[in-house]
Amino acid sequence: AQKVTQAQTEISVVEKEDVTLDCVYETRDTTYYLFWYKQPPSGELVFLIRRNSFDEQNEISGRYSWNFQKSTSSFNFTITASQVVDSAVYFCALSEAGGGFKTIFGAGTRLFVKA
């Protein structure tokens, strides 16, 4: 069965600090997809990144970077030089090709960035 664990419920940092959000997943499938979403205080869910199980390359997009490690079943998200606008709830999610592509989410990590 697929499962996503985000052990950090809330994180509070001061602006310009770097912060890493952890995501650990469980799957028996060999073909799967991992995602990160952002939910700002306004409530909408914003897609940030997708990674498939055959591509372990790390990715950087501006101040955001993602570290995918199959050996530890982790897909961690780092924000460099955090800003107040990064304050949001961040969700990690998993979709299995063999599981009908249903997407399962972690419980989310609420990030507070203080000025």
Partner 1 sequence: DAGITQSPRHKVTETGTPVTLRCHQTENHRYMYWYRQDPGHGLRLIHYSYGVKDTDKGEVSDGYSVSRSKTEDFLLTLESATSSQTSVYFCAISDPSNTGQRNTEAFFGQGTRLTVV
Residues near partner 1 (CB under 8 A) are 6, 9, 31, 33, 35, 43-45, 47, 50, 52, 91, 93, 95, 97, 100-108
Residue with tokens 């979403």: 37
Closest CA to 60 of 40, 80, 45, 74: 80
Cβ-based nearer residue to partner 1, 17 or 38: 38
Residue 51 tokens read as: 């990674």
Q: Least separation, in Å, of the C-beta of 86 and partner 1?
A: 19
Q: Which amino acid is at 84?
A: V
Helix (H) / strand (E) element for 96: namely strand 88-96
Cβ-based nearer residue to partner 1, 76 or 95: 95
Cβ-based nearer residue to partner 1, 18 or 55: 55
